[in-house]
Structure 1
Amino acid sequence: MKLKKLLFAAVTLPALFFVAFIIADALLPLPMTELKPTQTILAQNGVPMWRFADSNGIWRYPITLDDVPDYYLQALLTYEDRHFYQHAGIDFLAILRAAYQNITNRKIVSGGSTISMQVARIIDPHQRTIIGKFRQLFRALQLEWHYSKAEILTLYINRAPYGGMIEGIGAASWSYLGKAPSELTRSEAALFAVIPQAPSRLRPDRYPDKAQKARDKVLARLQTYQVWSAEVIAQVKQEEVWIYPRKTPRLAPLLSRRLSQSYPAKSIIRSTIDEPLQYALEDMALNWKNQLLPKSSLAILVVDHTDMTVKGYVGSVDFRDASRLGQVDMIKSYRSPGSTLKPFLYGLALNDGMIHSESLLQDVPRISSQYRPKNFDTDYHGPVSVSDALQRSLNLPAVQLMELYGATRFTSQLNSIGLELSSLENQPNISYILGGVSVRMDQLVSAYGAFARQGNVAPLRFTLDEPLLDKRLINKGSAWVIRQILALQPVPMLKQSNNPIVPLAWKTGTSYGYRDAWAIGINPRYLIGIWVGRPDGTPVVGQYGTLSAVPILQQVNSILLNKQRSLNRDLPTDPKPESVRVANICWPTGQELDSSDENCHRQKRAWIVNDMIPPTLEQLHMLKNNLYRSGTITIWINKRGLRVNADCVGATKKEIALWPIELEGWILAKETRQTLIPPTDLSCPALGDNQSFPLLITGIRANEVLRALPNQAQITMTLNSQGGNGTRWWFLDGNLMTETISNTAFTVTLNVNDKGRHDLLLLDESGQIDRIYFHIQ
């Protein structure tokens, strides 16, 4: 009967215990969700750049069992839980042995906690009481019920305390040793196996002697159980425990914050950043800091345009400098781009066949609207080519082209490839091309990739998980030509060819009021973005792209080229596409002519894309004025060379190429309409011959020297005009003074302190110009 009762109890009690455990497990689930997440941002080589701790300041670096050496797991399990794979969470023999040792020695000699019990205490902390111990045992059983041995062991190596605010061997290895846990030596593995027993007392950076004694205890245990050979243990014992002072990861802070916000659920984010390059760029920024004006900052962005991965990211000159708003990321801030949008306009116009590389543009005063910008040097240069206008960043030719291409069309094209142009009212207008809009550096640099990626644009890639998504902006030929122009590469002479490795191509920009100084560069492998200015948008007089940003661009370019040489890596090439050829074109028509043709006034060697050779562009306001249109006109002349009607005796046809009338004040005398168009033979005049009289300034002579009367601080002169047509616009030193109708006189008052040479320019409604220089003494 007793035997039956014993058998019944032996069966019933475990069953009841199991049922009770299942009920308790359902009522008191494991508090795994209470583990607070942390984030670590890695460089491409796996080195932590920045860490974001949890709300308690704890940092963890999650790893798997494959990320640690086998000998670390051997040391850990031998010292902490030899029967880890045999028990179900509780090792009763170990508990009894520990109790006996502690009682007989009258102090705590060893503990009986298994790995599972230690994980239980980590995820559900409790007081060191009898109730707390039972709670720990219950949690250990729960862990074994819900998780595999590998999962429990993974929890331990990621949650074990290592002193201070460090949890897990991943964070400990990077914090104490500055390397990945997979690179631990046997000595370091033995040390890291024992530190969690007393993390504050055994910190190797503070107490190396205590840490070494604890490590040697692990080695003794490994030798006792013959896990490692005696030779290996003897060799390991010779290594001293000596740790460098801990260095918290502090690299690319603004990029790290950006990635953390983009991927909030990821605990480990591996970026595409080149760690050595990032260090070099941040050091360089700090060196430039003292050369900048107070409260000024800078930003540097480096992108490998072969795959659009971000390799360097410096969002401010000094993250810790509050006076310079160092925590404001200027790479993702909206700022005026100055002239940095001009290459896109020329590229789009080239793509559409509106221009070629040497098309004739007009750098002359504007009269057709209230928007009258000036060049940076406040001067006018008359006839200029596309390449010259882009290289010199002239404003008025860009405005001429923007009017013809269309501001709305231009804006939508750039928006379509991710370059958002933002303004106060978001109404596209021609001022956009000169910086009357806001852009972000990351989007701007991405868009510049079109000139290195055969016309394709792809968003920047901050992690390798982000796909490379190309979208076409312009054709291959147009992209190649614009890059050649920006690289200051001349059109080769006959039987010459361009180097397929294109040197640094770059474009500067300066916003209104000197608020933003830009330089965007394209070298054989990298896109480089540089911005200098005050984050609060305050003007900085004398700060402009060439002076402030280009030196930084050139220094970054040197660092990148030296890096290529040190890696012994070939530079990417950009050979001339088959769609591009060289042609001899002539001004003023812009067409392909022989140099002996009398209509070829000036011959240029041009890049031609897809065999499109468009004629010279007019100003928008002149397209409706047939009387003053440029291009080629047909006239009839007699034997004396005089202009006659077509039905006159002996009349022969003649084609004459005319320059745009706005350029009359800048071209040679032999190129003007007055010279090119012969006078009329009054005996047989041409029908509709209504050429206007030339426009002249009266009231002052060329190179006249003006002096004030004694005791007078001002000089007064009366100006008028002769000839010309319609409304007249008067400019003094590039600034519009007044507007007059027909031959109307007006008075000008000058200050005697404005000594030196002055430029007086008169422009009429037909586009005729007269210009006089005078001096004040």
Structure 2
Amino acid sequence: MTSPSPPDPAAARPRRQGGRIIALTLALGLLAGAMDAGRLQFDRWLDATPMPPLAVPVGTEVVARDGSLLRAFQVGDGLWRLAPPASGVDPRLLDMLIAWEDRRFASHHGVDWRAVLRAAGQAVRHGRIVSGASTLSMQTARLLERGPTADWRGKLRQARLAMALERRIGKDGILALYLRLAPYGGNTEGVRAAALMWFGKEPTRLTPAEAALLVALPQAPESRRPDIAARRGAALAARDRVLARAEAAGIIDADSAALARKTPLPTARRAFPAHAALLAERLRAAHPGAVRIETTIDPQLQRAAETMVARAISDGSERLSAAAIVADHVTGEVLAEVGTADFGATPRAGFIDMTRALRSPGSTLKPFVYAMGFDDGLIHPDSLIEDRPASFGRWQPQNFDRQFRGTVTVREALRQSLNIPVVRIADALGPARVVAGLRRAGMRVETQGGAPGLAVVLGGAGVSLHDLVSGYAALAQGGQRVVLHDLAGAAEAAGPGPVQGQRVVSRSAAWQVGDILSRIPAPEGRAQGRIAYKTGTSYGHRDALSVGYDGRFVAGVWIGRPDGTPVPGAFGGEVAAPLLFDLFDALGARHRPLPPPPPETLIAPNAHLPIPLRRFTAPGRVASADAGRLTPDSDPLTILFPPDGAELELTGDQIPVRLRGGVPPYTWLMNGRPAAIASPLTEARLPGLAGMSEISVTDALGRTQRVRLRMTRPLGG
């Protein structure tokens, strides 16, 4: 007698599965009967359903001014899960989802009884599960509670929660939850995160192939990953089954379905957007818990600025970085902000926001010193000033090239970024007054030790690029302070106040500075006079900067190493200025010309200025051009030749002039234009111009003499 053979586990498995389906069917049948027999009791039972939290956490998203995504952040558990886009999800994706997962979604109340009976019958006939009966409402319930659903008790709990959800939040609420929670493999949940990860786009508009893949993946997110070669076939087959169902349901036509089947699957996951990445990080830290942060960033300009910044340092060392800001100085809105040339890169310290880091501003503070000097009546753009060796206490500043130009106009001193003249003016104003003016313009100026010294005006302080741009915005706005902001609606929320619009310098002083800066030679190949700008290079070539503005926009650029080590050969005019002009080029047709002078602006050559303005004289003392003191005891200044009213026949391109008395150096002007500057001699040769002309000469004390004469050319000459 043979003993009975042991049962076959494989054969027993379908019987168990069929038994579970039958048990579930009977349980749901009893539930349906209970609904009919005692509707009131059933309603109370549903209302008492324990509900999991319906507020599904989503990551913070920082968006541009047009609503497009700049950067998204993961939720606390490390998941990529985002709220559906404000513009909605492609309707075709929703139609495909319902056609594939739950055709009677619109008519059932959470449980599709017809699907349950069909699934039970198929299980009895085939001895295994052939089709499921889970509705979208039940799937959403399962995703919400994340509990076990392998046994019939779990399915019943899921069915109860699905019906309760239908009552509590309705069909639209259930779809919204599913679109947030549907799994797409790894740490990615929700349709929006999946569309960004697989297609690099929002799910607002999708192709049939893209929509079908997003419908198919949540059923088996890991085994259908298209970025893994061994699983790509399963992903393709599942997508095509969804397309076939969509074609049969009339959602897409046959041609669209055929074209979609030929569309290749994505083969790699894409990185989530990270534009204005460091700005976004700063805003998220400032607004913890915010789901959506709206900024003033112009997305096209932001992307262009990031490309330009990366290109600007592409030929440099791996430790070189750069930063840039573009803003509208009329509204104060920041339109583009690039805090690093390579976000996240360790060699370039890609997690440090160099728009907010305190760095040496080099010569970029000089325009503010001149503007204060204009306001105090110390100087005029055409005043003469000495660029000669000078001592200020123990400090003997040098020009960058260690050369001296002698007597120059203030205009030339700023245009050439000479150091000695600006220190003379700062000394007359007082360093405390200078720093107070800079801070009034919106700049946080950090100095070492106690009271600020004169070295501040040559870059001996810490100032951020953001604050420099804010200060130049004030110059662009006629001397009124501009508070830059990067949050949409921030200006309206703040309202008028004592800071925005606070007077920093007068309109005329701001215009005079801008007029000089607009005449600084532009980088090679760029349009001259389009923007007013200034460059700066810090001591030891650690920072190269350029800041400028036109009639509407202001921008600033920093290039250097975040760790503060030198960058040999890096000059603001050579490396930062071209990038600044690139940023203004990116503004295209939005460029606005610089404004005309305010009516109160004094525009006159040196010879026609009031005597105190013809030559800079520090209050209380007059420094000698030669190491002696200037005194008024010298002989009167007199032009000996040519005499006033003379008529000269030109025999060449120049005429001789000669004077007596006065105190050297002398500055000669022909028709109001400098012809010989800071000459130590009493004789000079000036351009010969046919017709009536005026020749004037000014000595070191500001005394002026002039003559008028007529010059003619010989017949045939």
Q: Would you say same fold, with TM above 0.5?
A: yes
Q: CA deviation at 1:375?
A: 2.0
Question: Counterpart of 1:407?
Answer: 431
SS at match of 2:156: helix
Change (3 A) 1:352 1:618: closer
- What is the CA RMSD across the aligned residues, in angstroms? 4.1
2:188 aligned residue (161, 166, 178): 166
Which amino acid counterpart does residue 501 of structure 2 have in structure 1? K
**3-state SS of the aligned residue for 1:335?**
coil
User: Residues 658, 74 of structure 1: CA spacing in aligned structure 2 closer, same or farther, 3 A cutoff?
Assistant: same
C-alpha distance in structure 2 between counterparts of 1:379 and 1:219, whole Å: 77
- Classify the secondary structure of the residue corresponding to 1:379: coil
2:512 corresponds in structure 1 to 481
Q: Which residue of 2 aligns with 1:619?
A: 618
Distance, in Å, in 2 between the alignment partners of 1:68 and 1:45 is: 17
In 1, Cα distance between equivalents of 2:360 and 2:700: 41
* Equivalent-residue separation in structure 2 for 1:64 and 1:514 (angstroms): 46
Say yes or no: does 1:122 pair with 2:143. Answer: yes
- Shift in Å, 1:286: 4.5
Q: TM-score, with normalisation over the residues of structure 2? A: 0.73
- Residue 423, structure 1, aligned to residue 441, structure 2: no
SS in 2 for 1:509: strand
Larger relative contact order, structure 1 or 2 (CA cutoff 8 Å, min sep 6): 2
Residue 576 (structure 1) aligned to one of 580, 585, 596: 596
Identity %: 32
Instruction: Tell me the CA shift for residue 270 of structure 1.
Output: 4.8
Report 1:148-297 matches (<5 A).
148-206=170-228, 207=231, 209-222=233-246, 224=248, 226-228=249-251, 239-243=262-266, 245-249=268-272, 250-275=274-299, 277-289=301-313, 291-293=315-317, 295-297=319-321
Residue type at the aligned position of 2:591: L
Tell whether the 8 Å contact from 2:247 to 2:254 is kept in structure 1 after alignment: no
Give the superposition deviation at 1:111: 2.3
1:254-294: per-residue Cα shift (whole Å, max 9, x none)? 33323332333333445444555555544554455464356
> Does the CA-based 8 Å contact 1:420-1:439 persist in structure 2?
yes
Distance 1:632 1:478, change over 3 A: farther
Structure 2 residues without counterparts, runs of 5 or longer: 1-33, 495-499, 522-526, 638-660, 667-676, 683-697, 705-717
Report if the CA contact (8 A) 1:417-1:471 is conserved.
Answer: no
Distance apart, 1:440 and its partner CA: 0.8
Q: Distance in 2 between the 1:674 and 1:256 partners?
A: 58
Contact 2:507 2:598 in 1 (8 A): no
Which residue, out of 335, 344, 354, partners 2:368? 344
CA drift of 1:139 comes to 3.1
Instruction: Give deviations 1:127-185, integer Å, cap 9, x for gaps.
Output: 12334323323432443343233222112112212233322221222222222212112
Secondary structure at the aligned position of 1:54 is classed as: coil
Q: Is the 8 A contact 1:630 1:660 kept in 2?
A: no
Q: Name the residue aligned to 2:347.
A: 323
Partner SS state of residue 439, structure 1: coil
Q: Which amino acid aligns with 2:418?
A: L
Match for residue 158 of structure 2?
Answer: 136
SS in structure 1 at match of 2:606: strand
CA distance in 1, matches of 2:130, 2:69: 38
TM-score normalised to structure 1 length: 0.68
Distance (Å, rounded) in 1 between the aligned partners of 2:219 and 2:357? 48
Does 1:62 pair with 2:83?
yes
Aligned to 1:705: none
Aligned equivalent of 1:79:
100
SS in 2 for 1:313: strand
- What is the distance in 1 between the residues matched to 2:113 and 2:616? 94
How far apart, CA to CA, are the structure 1 residues paired with 2:451 and 2:80?
A: 48
Q: Paired residue for 1:773?
A: none
2:474 equivalent among 405, 428, 450: 450
Query: 1: CA distance between counterparts of 2:520 and 2:129?
Result: 80
SS at match of 2:604: strand
1:356–1:307: structure 2 CA closer, same or farther, 3 Å change rule? Answer: same
Amino acid at match of 2:557: I
Cα offsets for 1:27-51 (capped at 9, x unmatched):
xx42245x44323444556554443
Distance 1:675 1:428 in 2: 32
- What does residue range 466-545 of structure 1 map to in structure 2 within 5 Å? 466-467=490-491, 470-472=500-502, 473-488=504-519, 502-523=529-550, 526-540=553-567, 542-545=569-572
In the TM superposition, residue 21 of structure 1 has moved relative to its aligned partner by 4.7
For residues 245 and 344 of structure 2, the distance between their equivalents in structure 1, rounded to whole angstroms, comes to 48
Unaligned segments of structure 1, at least 5 residues = 1-8, 491-499, 594-612, 638-655, 678-777
Task: Give, in angstroms, the shift of residue 191 of structure 1.
Answer: 3.4
Decide whether the 8 Å contact of 2:322 with 2:558 is kept in 1. yes
Do the aligned partners of residues 214 and 630 (structure 1) sit closer, same or farther apart at CA in structure 2, a change above 3 Å counting?
same
Map of 2:380 onto structure 1: 356
Checking the alignment, whether the CA contact within 8 Å between 2:557 and 2:579 is kept in structure 1 is no
Superposed counterparts of 1:645-684, under 5 Å:
668-670=680-682
Mapping for residues 348-387 of structure 1, pairs under 5 Å? 348-367=372-391, 369-387=393-411
1:390 aligns with: 414
Please, which moves more after superposition, 331-340 or 180-189?
180-189
Residues 117, 140 of structure 1: 8 Å contact kept? yes
